[in-house]
Every structure is written in structure tokens, then in C-alpha cells.
Structure 1
Amino acid sequence: MGTAKIALALIVAFFFQSCADLDEDPTQSQLAPGQFSSLEDFNLGVTGVYGKLRTAAQWTTFNVFGWAGDDMTTHKALNKAPFREYDQMNVSGDNPRSLSNWNDVFSMIRAVNTVIESAEGMNVTDQDGYNRLLGESYFLRGTLFLHMSRIHGRIPLPLTSVPDFDIALASQEEVYVQIEKDLLLAESLLPEIYPGVEQGAPRPNKGSAQAILSRLYMNWAGFPLKDNAKYTDAASVAKKVIDNHSAHGFELLSDLNNLWKVENRFNKESVWTIAYNNPANLGNRKYGILGYPSDVEGGWSETFAEVRFFEDFPEGPRKEATYRTDLDWKNFKDQVQPVFTKIAGPLGDLPSQWSTDRNDFYMRYAEVLLNYAEASGRSGNNGADAWEALNKIRRRAAGKPHNIPDPSIDVTSGNLAELAFTERKWEFAGEYLRYNDLVRMERVEEALNDSARTPLDPNIPIANPVLGSLSTDNYYAPIPQIEIDLNPNLDPNN
């Protein structure tokens, strides 16, 4: 074994020895290899993975690919170069944020593999409890694989706790098949609702697994595989969630303004929540002052709204809930960009600090509804239920009750798929989701070319003009070069 591979082996060994430190209570987790002797051990193993997830997801690095979308941008200078590379479609193999995220997520996947193996063959009296934890483990692995595939496209698929130093990249289809397998297992094992947890499924239920499956199938149906049959699957599984949303504890919040308030950090709209606890030094470090320029609230100038996207955004209650329109952003001295309410927080809600109690709504029920509407349209099923799913989002965006039909808002004809796709553009602005939509529909060039991003106000320049290619061969971020150096099988050109 070469020196580099020996070093990697030592890193893996250290991970298994030290990962217990990543849980809420360092004495209450178990990720070391070995057979679990009780469901308590099994539960501690799973919560140990959540400790790692929180440690990784608390940073913007976890969502670094979001900057490639036309909805958000970063500072034009300062220490934001790794984010600017994504913002400008010019990501290098040495991007430190890519490497950090790669290491974090694959260490979580190895941890899940250890938990699954340690739970094999257990003799238990509480079969439901065992199934729940096993389903949760497969949910975590499938969701993490999907998270990485949306960033890098083809990825390796480690399925055991034993490191494979020569593992190769899987094909895109193999990646999706494995994610589907994990999530279907999770769906079969998880309960309708996880007992004893807050709203928003901070520990997933059956509906959470089905929701992520709908996201998988939307990607599978689009670029690069373009398997149109998966739109039928996406619509079918999203409909399962919709039909049983009450049993899973899911529902749209009535007022978008309330969705982003700290007091509603656990709410019914999130179909899977990554929870934080700032007083316990387990805060979320993606929000608050990171969304302000330096001359406002002592901002850290990391996550801004794109000017043209803001200018094009339809006026109304949803725009008011998405952006801090109370701020005179055109007169900012540091950088002239609008501020996201979703990042900086509603007026007076988030303190002027970099670590907060805000939870992450990894996927919202709104996305399930729009997945159903768009996938139905693209698979040729323009039924009344699909239009209703779209109209629920449109009504709330207009400040109307989402469950009450409103002829002044509702649409019942036209291109359902494209109407739903456009609705996603506005609904999820600033949530690190837009770029993936552009990729799956091959609309990166359409959205990111200079004319599409140039502000309507001629006095405002594009903060970070695109430097890289907008063609399909530049849609995904490269595998970190140091990983390829350690294992040439991860080079997509091999």
C-alpha cells in the first residue's frame, strides 16, 4: 500500500474512534465497529450519524452548488473565492469547499454503513423499533448519495464500512438505482410518523422517504439520463405523500412569512428537518449575518440575491416573504445586492450573529406538490389533482388561503409542466435548489447567459459574471483532485 493510501486508512480509523464526539451528548452515541447488543445501541449509532450531519450541514459548504443558480450570488471579493467559482461556473478540482463537503458526506455514508452492519442479525423483541432505525439508516444513506449526485453527477457508491481504496465511479444509472433501492427500503421500514419527535420530521417517516424519492425521480427523468418514464414514478410517489399528508404530519403553512421565523423552526411544511440547538453550541451557521453586506448589521457578505432574479420576481406576498424589501439595498456601499429573508431572517427575528437556532428544511411539502404537478404534466396526466397541487402554491404566493379555490388565482389550462417549473423558480428562490432544476431541464445556458442575468437597472453590474462554460459538460462540479490523486479510478476520464 502506498504512503497516500496508508494515510487515508489512518484517517478512516480515526473517524471510527472519534465520531462519538459529534453527537449532542458526546457520551451518548456509538459508531465504533462491532455488533449492537440492544436497540439502545442501535439508536445511539443512528444519532451519532445525525451528529456528523449537523456538523457538516451547519455550513454553507454543504449547499455549495447552490451558488451556480441564477437566484443567488456571493461577494465579488473578500474570502469568497470558493463560492465564486460555483457562482461563475468555473469550479476547480482544488476547490476547498468541494473537498470539505466530499469528505464530510462520505464520512457520514461510511458511518451509516457501519451502523447497518452492526445491526445485522440482532435479536430484538421490539421489531417495530428495529425496523424504524433500520429504515432511518437506509433513508440517510440514500439521501446523502442523492445529495452528492446532484453536485457531482457520477459518484462512488461505498456500501460497506470497509474502505475500498480503489473504488470506481458508478455510472449515473447505477447511482440512481442504488438511491432508489435505499429509499424504497426506507419507505417499507419507516412508520407513518416517527414517534416522539417535533413537527417537520427531524427523524424521517414513510412520507419523508417518498418525498425524497419524488426528488430522485425528477432528476432521473431529466439530464443526463432523460428517462421520461420516471416522471410517472415521480408523480405516483408524490401523490402517495399528498394523499397521506395528514398521517405524516405534513401541510403547507398558511403564511410564508411565518415559515422563516425561528419560533417556527419545527413546522409541518418540512418533510425532513435538520435540527440545530444554538444554546448547546450546535448552531446553524448559514443564516443571520451571512446574508448581509458588511455595512449592514456587520454582515459577512456570503449569500446575496441576484439582482435580475429579484427584478423579475412577481410582486406580491411571496416576494415580500422571500426578500428583505424593507432594506434600501441599492444604496449599500459594500455590494449592491438584495437580501434574502430566507437567509438573513425576517425583520427583527434573527440576532446579529453568525450562529443561530434556525433549522434546515431539507425538503418542503411545497416541493412535493410541485413535483406532482410538474411530473404529471410531463407524463401526460393533466388531471384535476395535479392542477390543484399547483394552485395551492399559487394561492399562498398571492396571500390567499391555499386550500380554498380562487378563480382570480387558479389556472386549469395551459402547459401544466412549464407552469409548475416556473412556480418552482419563485417558490424556492434562495434555498439552494434552483441550479439543480436548471441542470435537469438543460436550461443552464438560458438562465445564466449575460443577457438573462444583466440587471434591468443599467447602473447595477453583474457582481460575478460567468467565466466557465455553460454547456452540459460543465454542469457538474469536478471530483476533488486530491481524491483522484489518491485513487485514479475516481477520474471520470479513465
Structure 2
Amino acid sequence: MKTINFYKLFRAHLFLLSAVAIVLTFESCAELDEDPAVSRLAPGSYSNQAELELGVTGIYSQLRNASQWSTFFVSGWSGDDITTHKASNKADFREFDQRSVSPENARVVNNWRDIYAMVRAANSVLENAKDLELPDQDAQNRLLGEVYFLRGTMFFHLTRVHGRIPLPLTAEPELDISRSSQVEVYTQIESDLLQAENLLPEIYPGVLEGAPRPNSGTARAMLARLYLDWGGFPAKDASKYAMAASSAKQVMDNSAAHGFALVEDLEDLWKLENRFNSEGVWTIAYCVDCGLHNRKFGKLGNPSDLFGWQETFAEIRFFEDFPEGPRKEATYRTEHDWENFTDQTNPVFKKIVGPEGDIPLSEFNTNRNDLFMRYAEVLLIYAEASGRSGNVTSEAWEALNMIRRRAEGLPFGTPDPGVDVTSGDIAELAFTERKWEFAGEWIRWNDLVRMERVEQALSNRDPQVSMNDAGELLNVSNAIIGSLGTDNYFAPIPQNEIRLNPNLGD
């Protein structure tokens, strides 16, 4: 394998050898405020567990530095659920919102840089640990399992943005790496996640709820997500649907051992006090008091009327179509008179700004964790993939119905004939359920891509019933100006990377 460009890789490699890294262990609440000055990425071959631990926690530091910004989820603005401000300094998000993404898009450039920095760090740790034999073999296995998990998950995260990407697998820079085929990318992600699953324990010792350090169930859940994507566009390997269902079912069958479970009340997921919870299959954790801020929530989701920075709004048409009930109330701040906001008339996501009184209006440095993957998604993958693979079971219907019941404010484990479904196209029912369940969580776009439904979803976003006090029907904030065809599903490779290495343009 060959690398992206010599200068950037060499510079980053030197950084990894010497830079101070904020350790993000999350093995207890107390360790969140560890002194950054004592946490360094260990240079050269490792000789003890402490050096390996520093190498691993250095990757987490890079992850937190990247994921604290909305840039990390930039492609999410392409979905029909999320929009951004129609002017101001949100041009990079608007390009995704309007499906006209430039190869010079600064968010794309930064995201590419940050993710490959993590990949390079992971490669360096794996190489430095190659000959390491620790007395505590369990500790060595779980630390290396984390590295494989993080590398595979970052490849997965980036391929959802760009499609075909390069796959650097060594710390040694190479000058002329090319993009791999989509199947090669998926195969490498699968390999990393399988290795992670093999090395990680059932549950990581000493961590809080929500798997802030991944366990074997986290890796298997991510495989279920991978196989679901693999079955759809662009690879379209329908055999992967059975693997997605099997992987999700394996996580479900062992959910107690992994510490995974749905929370009773959906709104509890967005409260600061519940930022570590059982529904997190993998959680990226933050801590303001430790200098580890999350800067995607709070103020960034509010309009100027509420002293907000107007970055992440809800689409009007999606809000109009959203079924009424407790789940809608948990998703949006419905008490706002958003139709008459003075600057931009769009609904406000409760998932972004928090429930009333939870995050101060003036705050954008928050303790909110990122639920990168929720147990609800495992259940819905099982239901959808079971349908698409032609192997529908009563357990698949129950997985779907658990989400439907909670959406209505009912106990999710108690059958309810008024809510439950047991017939019809379970794959499509589960796909639609994902639409509502994960609104505002930056993943709707990925569903539209894999099922080739971008045009269907984005060609008619005009509000139908929402009016201001003057009786005027509201307009869509950022109208589509780019293609909705499959040739425009993935963001371009950053232009500067292609200038430095023309092979990336192939």
C-alpha cells in the first residue's frame, strides 16, 4: 500500500513521535482529568504496557480533537432531516445541504486530514507493538483490539463520505497511493473489525456505560452496520444482508454481557446527566472540566433569536412528516415558535440543543457525549436485514416493535396490539423506522445512499403546511442546486491531495 502524500505523512509521523497527547481513558470518572503533560505517544518499539497504553490513548486524543466539531459528521447535512443556515459562515455545510460539494471544501479537507492522522497513529502503534509480549496478555489483546477497531471504524466513517478511499496500512510513507475499490475498502474494514472482535473482551473492564472503550459486541455491531451498507449501493452485494442480520442477532443475544440495552425514555438519551447510558454501543466521551469539550451541541443548534450560532437546524418538510407522539417531542423543541423566527424559520433539534434547561443557551462547550452507534440501530439492522435477506423471524418483528413501542411512550418490552406490526414488508418498515428514530443524528444520508433514494427524498423538500403569522407558506432554507444522481453521492477527494498525488484522482 502507498500513502497520500510524503510531506503530510512525514510531518504527522514526526508529530506522533513527540507531541503531547491528552489521554482519554474513561476507565473512571476520576481519570478524565488526567494531567495531559504526562501523556505522550511513545516513540519506537514498545517495551512495556505503559508505552502501548500511551500509544492507544493518543489515538483517542486525536479522535476527540476531530469529533468534537460538526465537521466530523459533515456529510450528514446532505440528508433530508438536517439543514444549516442559509447564509453566514456555513458555506461548507450548505454545499452538502445543496448537494454541490467542492473539492476545496474546508470541512472535507479537515475531516480527511484528521481521520488519516488517526489511521497513521494506529498503524504506528501496531508496528511498534509487533514484537511486544506483555505479562498481562489480556491487557495487550484489548489494547490492540482497540487499535484495530479504531482504524476500521475510521476507514468506515470516511468511506461513507468519499466512497473509494486509499488504505494506508503502514506507518512508512509512500508517495503514490491510489484509491482502493469499494469492495477492497469494505474488505479491509471487515478485517480490522473481525480482528478487533477477536481481541476485545465481552465488556471493557472499569468503564462507564455506553462502551466508551469498545468491547467485542461493539465490533460485531459495527460489522452489522458495515454489512448493511455493503448490501446496498455502491457494492450491492445482497449476500451481505444475511451477514448483517446474523451479526446484529449475535449482539442482541449477548447484549447483557456487553452492557447494551435500550433506555426506557428516548428523551433521556439527550440529557447531560445520562451521557453515559446502556444504549451506547460505542460512545465518544467528553469532559468540559478536563478541557475535553464537545462543540457540536447547545448554542450551535439555536437560532439567533435564542442567541444561537445557527449551524444545525431541522428540515421543515421532514418535521412536518414526522409522526406525532413522544418520539417527535424527544427529537425537537416543539414549544418554540420557530415559524416566526426572525432570521431563519426552521425547527430546532432537541437532540442538538438539549431538553429545556439542560444546556445553557450561551454554551457550546458541552459534556454531551457522541452516541456514535446506539443499540436501537442494532435492533433495526436486524429487522431490516432479515427482511432483505428473506429470513424473517418472530424475533425480527419483535426487534422492530420494541422501537415502535418506545416511540409511542410505551414499555418497549411489553407487546401492544395497537402499535405492533407482524406482517408487511419488514425491511421497508424498518427502513422507515430508522428515518424517524435517527433524525438529527447525522446518519440519514447514509441510508439514502445505500438504498439509492437520494432523489426520492431530496427532490421534494418544500414545506406543505408550515406558515408564519402573516399566513405565508414557509420556504425550504437551502434549495438543491447539485445533481441528485448516484454520480454525486460521494464527496470529492480534497483537491490539494490530488495535486500532491495525482493517483488519488483516478
TM-score bracket, normalised by the shorter chain, equals over 0.9
TM-score scaled by length of structure 1:
0.97
2:27 maps to what in 1? none
Quote the RMSD (CA, aligned, Å).
1.3
Contact map agreement 1:29 1:44 (CA 8 A) in 2: yes
SS for the counterpart of 2:373 is strand
Of 117, 127, 133, the match for 2:143 = 133
Alpha-carbon distance in 2 for matches of 1:18, 1:348: 43
Give runs of aligned pairs for residues 206-217 of structure 1, distance below 5 A.
206-217=216-227
Of 477, 484, 491, the match for 2:491 = 477
1:170 maps to what in 2? 180
Query: CA shift at 1:30, angstroms?
Result: 3.6
Alpha-carbon distance in 2 for matches of 1:93, 1:479: 6
Of 468, 475, 478, the match for 2:482 = 468
2:30 maps to what in 1? none
Give runs of aligned pairs for residues 339-488 of structure 1, distance below 5 A.
339-352=348-361, 353-449=363-459, 451-457=460-466, 459-488=473-502
User: Match of 2:8, as an amino acid?
Assistant: L
| C-alpha spacing 1:101/1:349, structure 2 compared with 1 (3 Å) | same
SS for the counterpart of 1:135 is helix
Alpha-carbon distance in 1 for matches of 2:9, 2:142: 32
Of 317, 325, 329, the match for 2:326 = 317
Query: CA shift at 1:6, angstroms?
Result: 6.1
Query: CA shift at 1:18, angstroms?
Result: 4.6
Alpha-carbon distance in 2 for matches of 1:29, 1:154: 35
2:8 maps to what in 1? 8
Structure 1 range deviating more: 6-15 or 284-293: 6-15
Alpha-carbon distance in 2 for matches of 1:10, 1:377: 48
Structure 1 range deviating more: 329-338 or 4-13: 4-13
Alpha-carbon distance in 2 for matches of 1:333, 1:325: 17
Of 247, 261, 265, the match for 2:257 = 247
Query: CA shift at 1:10, angstroms?
Result: 4.8
Of 161, 173, 189, the match for 1:151 = 161
Query: CA shift at 1:403, angstroms?
Result: 0.6
| C-alpha spacing 1:334/1:30, structure 2 compared with 1 (3 Å) | same
Query: CA shift at 1:5, angstroms?
Result: 5.7
Of 36, 40, 56, the match for 1:26 = 36
Contact map agreement 1:455 1:461 (CA 8 A) in 2: no
SS for the counterpart of 1:198 is coil
1:37-61 superposed Cα distances (whole Å, 9 cap, x missing partner): 1112111111111011000000000
Alpha-carbon distance in 1 for matches of 2:23, 2:223: 27
2:302 maps to what in 1? 292
1:330 maps to what in 2? 339
Alpha-carbon distance in 2 for matches of 1:335, 1:115: 47
SS for the counterpart of 1:20 is coil
SS for the counterpart of 1:363 is strand
User: Match of 1:329, as an amino acid?
Assistant: W
| C-alpha spacing 1:427/1:5, structure 2 compared with 1 (3 Å) | closer
Q: How many residues align?
A: 487
2:269 maps to what in 1? 259
Contact map agreement 2:210 2:283 (CA 8 A) in 1: yes
Contact map agreement 2:224 2:247 (CA 8 A) in 1: yes
Is 1:302 aligned to residue 316 of structure 2? Answer: no
Query: CA shift at 1:334, angstroms?
Result: 1.2
User: Match of 1:431, as an amino acid?
Assistant: E
1:446-485 superposed Cα distances (whole Å, 9 cap, x missing partner): 0000x34444336100100001000000000000000010
Alpha-carbon distance in 1 for matches of 2:12, 2:276: 34
User: Match of 1:456, as an amino acid?
Assistant: V
Alpha-carbon distance in 1 for matches of 2:334, 2:114: 36
| C-alpha spacing 1:92/1:18, structure 2 compared with 1 (3 Å) | farther
1:97 maps to what in 2? 107
Is there any run of 5+ residues in structure 1 with no aligned partner, and where? none
Would you identify which runs of 4 or more consecutive aligned residues in structure 1 move more than 6 Å? none
Alpha-carbon distance in 1 for matches of 2:465, 2:259: 43
Alpha-carbon distance in 2 for matches of 1:354, 1:428: 22
Is 1:112 aligned to residue 122 of structure 2? Answer: yes
Identical-pair percentage: 62
Is 1:80 aligned to residue 90 of structure 2? Answer: yes
Alpha-carbon distance in 2 for matches of 1:429, 1:210: 24
Is there any run of 5+ residues in structure 2 with no aligned partner, and where? 25-34, 467-471
| C-alpha spacing 1:121/1:404, structure 2 compared with 1 (3 Å) | same
Contact map agreement 2:463 2:473 (CA 8 A) in 1: no
